[in-house]
Structure 1
């Protein structure tokens, strides 16, 4: 498998055609997977905002005051309001905000970014990342670059581990996971639970190439990777009924 960054992409602005920009700079082939950082997808979709755009509710004031008391750091209630408006559920409200976004992703602060946002205060995640991936894929197909899968990626932390890694937010042209259940291991035992999240694994691999901070490269071409002869699934985010951790968090409080 080869991973090649797409270099010399300009600063992305609202309305920019990411498919066209990548197609002009990358030698894409059928079977490739293109990973695109959610940062540039959000910029192209105009998902920048200023904190003054968020009239503060009583709930946001309460959250900011409590976080300030716990951390000893000044907290802006307008940021808390932005997080609330980008979330469907607040799983933890102290000592940080862990939320479910409107498309099902669990992340700190609804994935809102304060870095690399020229002329604005914050950058929101794409509203519907899978639809974003589909638009980029269709844009490539319109330029006769067909059979290229697209993954919209982000970085976030992991329970029980330090550091962040790449994850998939949306995808098109391939299943999210491949299902090994029913297949046999080397000793002939049938696999009963193994479902491999390939979009997350490709996003994480691409993140090794994209980098972080000022030197980041937001798009990577993955070549010579094959899904294999497995059943596929587009299930990535756990349902509430199957998510025991979320159920436990609903009962937990930092004051307990």
Structure 2
């Protein structure tokens, strides 16, 4: 039988700039009668980390979002989803105006992984207990309503549990199964801490198998971030169209597509298209007899798919032939 236990100590006061979160955590556990044990996972909300780091701001929130952003992923009216400096894709760059005085807001922590490592070392020094530490924050999910907590910082924890290569009970090999256990533990912690309870720390027991030995901090939460260009949804639908038409930031669309994928897209856009094999198996995709204005769509399509395009005059007046050429002939 497997069981998990999560405890969120009450009585944690307001966190101010310069506070030592490791000592605040140990005091909260002491006052609540929570005894840390080897293999526990401690979670800390990003809000108190930001407050301790002095990341509280007033003024123009939109300017703050721009300053925390690497690029805009999607924008719909007042909602802006960006890729921020931590590599996280979040609404408003993760800037939060809750649990602070009116007119103020909090930027995300500067280095959540480093904070997790520091608190982990403080716990080991203060108690002799080997725990893992997560820094958590709330985020939305593509295709899903509502939000859940995720891990944005980690130390001493296996953040991704690799099952690839294992065999299930039916004899099927597992290919890409990798539970994001750090995010799952972060979501569990939020059920105990709540949004308005003033309980920024939780202690989770029951997954000591994920906790690394003392001194081994692991990959950190950065291992959970998919790199730009590797995500199939790296841009909003409108933004993807604009980027392709403008011919900028091609890397965001990912690695060049295979010929079959580009061919399918060309059929969707233009109708009949053919794949013609070239020297060394370098196929090209050809669309014949399209209108001259369609050449602009062809250039956008080639850019989005990482191919080159060549437009030549066709036999029928006013039409052109479009050849999509692989990026490395």
TM interval, shorter chain, is: 0.7 to 0.9
SS at match of 1:84: helix
1:4-23 residue CA offsets vs partner (Å, 9 max, x unmatched): 00221110001111111111
Structure having greater relative contact order (Cα 8 Å, sep ≥ 6) = 1
**Residue 246 (str. 1) matches residue 234 (str. 2):** yes
Cα distance in 2 for residues equivalent to 1:161 and 1:114? 23
Question: For the residues of structure 2 that align with 1:108 and 1:5, how far apart are their CA atoms?
Answer: 27
Superposed displacement of residue 43, structure 1 = 0.5
Offset, 1:175: 2.0
Partner SS state of residue 224, structure 2: coil
Of 22, 27, 33, 2:25 maps to: 22
> Cα distance, 1:248 vs. partner?
6.0
Distance in 1 (CA, whole Å) between partners of 2:37 and 2:100 is: 32
- What secondary structure, in the 3-state scheme, does the structure 1 residue paired with 2:233 have? helix
Residue 8 of structure 1: which of 3, 7, 11 is its match? 11
Matches within 5 A, 1:31-46: 31-46=39-54
How far the C-alpha of 1:118 sits from its partner, in A, is 3.3
Query: Is residue 132 from structure 1 mapped to residue 115 from structure 2 by the alignment?
Result: yes
Tell me the distance in 2 between the aligned counterparts of 1:184 and 1:226: 23
Corresponding position: 1:191 with 2:199: no
Pick from 48, 60, 64: which aligns with 1:82? 64
What is the distance in 1 between the residues matched to 2:128 and 2:96? 32
Equivalent residue, structure 2, for 1:157? 140
Q: Which residue of 2 aligns with 1:237?
A: 225
SS at match of 1:192: coil
Superposition deviation, residue 142 in structure 1: 2.2
- Preserved CA contact (<8 Å) 1:240 1:247: no
Contact 2:40 / 2:208 at 8 angstroms: preserved in 1? no
- Contact conserved, 2:74 with 2:235, CA < 8 A, in 1? no
Question: Is the 8 Å Cα contact of residues 74 and 81 (structure 2) preserved in structure 1?
Answer: yes
Matched residue SS, 2:208:
coil
- Alpha-carbon RMSD across the aligned residues, in angstroms, is 2.0
Conservation of the 8 A alpha-carbon contact between 1:178 and 1:195? yes
CA distance in 2, matches of 1:208, 1:174: 20
Structural mapping, 1:79-228, within 5 Å: 79-95=61-77, 96-118=79-101, 121-213=104-196, 215-227=197-209
Deviations 1:133-170 (A, max 9, x none): 11111221221333110000011111112111110101
Per-residue CA shift, 1:53-102, capped at 9, x if unaligned?
xxxxxxxxxxxxxxxxxxxxxxxxx2211101011111113331101111
CA gap of 1:21–1:120, structure 2 versus 1, over 3 A, is farther
CA–CA separation in structure 2 for the residues paired with 1:87 and 1:32: 34
TM-score of the aligned structures, taking structure 1 as reference length: 0.82
Runs of 4+ in 1 over 6 A off after TM superposition: none
Aligned equivalents of 1:98, 1:8: Cα separation in 2: 35
Alpha-carbon distance in structure 2 between the residues aligned to 1:33 and 1:102: 26
Query: How many corresponding residue pairs?
Result: 225
How big is the shift at 1:242?
A: 1.4
The structure with more radius of gyration: 2
